[in-house]
Amino acid sequence: MSTLVQYILTPKNKRLIPLLEWLCGLMFTVAIAFAAYELARLPGLDHIGQMAIALTGTVIARQFFGYPERLRAGIQFASKQLLRLAIILCGLKLNFGTLLHQGPILLLQGAVTVVFAIGCTLLVARRLKADNSLSLLLGIGTGICGAAAIAAVSPILKAKEEDTAAGAGLIALIGTLAAIGYTVLLPVLPLTDAQYGVWSGLTLHEIAHVPLAASAAGPDAVETGLLAKLSRVLLLVPVSFILLLIMKRRGHITSGTTVTFPWFLIGFVLMSVLGSVTPGTAFEIPAHVMAILQQAPAFLLAMAMVGLGLHVDLRTLCTKALRPLAAMAITTVLLSALTLLLIQYVY
């Protein structure tokens, strides 16, 4: 081992050191994400999910132990580049063909949910005097698709990494609690299986939360729930463009300002198109490859959450996030209640 170290440290090979440190940092996130995956398979923890476990665990560990500074490059790669790759692959879950077949009503339902979630969160946050930046991220995550939406709009809003991480963690927490609460309420709800699925899809935060809640009512509820959820996911791209225009109009982005537009959203759309290709064509993705690609985002997001979690100061978060959390929780309850009433008359 000492011979190997001496060889690496020779002047000719010193350029290998940054590469090895980057690789070690990346493998550090892989190890924690895999541990979170295994923990998420345990009874009870399976309702929490791999991403939430990875983020929560690293936030807590960072406060007590910190992490080796020399691993920063690999950890940052996971929290930024791999996060974008995960969002691109999430596009495979969005089937344009199904959405076009269902017609404008589905998109209208998704748009109403997004507008209500963002508007209500900001309104309640203002009354509670909560942090506006974090509240906006939570409103967008509540309205569209949780942590993936928060990560997508963060570059446009110039959000701090700690706000992005806090938003992802809080959205996972509230969404998980809501999904479990839905299954508890199912026996007393005056809804058919299809109505319950639509209710889950129009109101729950993460894509994974929808099957978690809807599976209690059977496969039909899961199918209608995911379809309703996709109507919200599709709005991620137009909402990002709208936010970019708003930021420019308010002067946060001027002609001399360099803004990094999240071009990975274009990849998100392209993957959606690719995943929607009719089976039997030359462009069809083999089923086993598609299964891997659809499972990959969850693991990549868990790695990204490790990177984000290591940048969170828990003491600062506790003083800053309580009011935005309350605003999001109130919005979630109102969104669920109002949507429940409307579904009984529309479906």
**pLDDT tens column, 178-192:** 888 898 888 888 888
Please give the pLDDT value at position 265.
65
- Check if the beta carbon of residue 179 is closer than 8 Å to that of residue 212: yes
3-state secondary structure at position 94 = coil
Residue 35: count other Cβ atoms within 10 Å of its Cβ.
16
pLDDT band at 51 (very low <50, low <70, confident <90, very high): confident
Per-residue CA distances from 316 to 73, 124, 132, 320, 321 (Å):
24, 22, 16, 6, 8
Q: What number is the average pLDDT over the span 315-334? A: 85
* Predicted confidence (pLDDT) at residue 269 exceeds the cutoff of 90: no
3-state secondary structure at position 258 = coil
- Whole-number Å distance between alpha carbons of 299 and 322: 28
Nearest alpha-carbon partner for 140 in 131, 130, 152, 128: 152
Please give the pLDDT value at position 338.
92
Q: What number is the average pLDDT over the span 287-306? A: 78
Q: What number is the average pLDDT over the span 244-248? A: 83
Tokens 């008359």 sit at which residue? Answer: 345
pLDDT band at 2 (very low <50, low <70, confident <90, very high): very low
Report which DSSP code applies to 79.
Answer: I
Please give the pLDDT value at position 7.
45
**Mean pLDDT of the chain, nearest integer:** 79
| φ/ψ of residue 68, rounded to 5 | -60, 125
How much is the pTM? Answer: 0.71
DSSP for 125-150 reads HHHHT--HHHHHHHHHHHHTTTHHHH
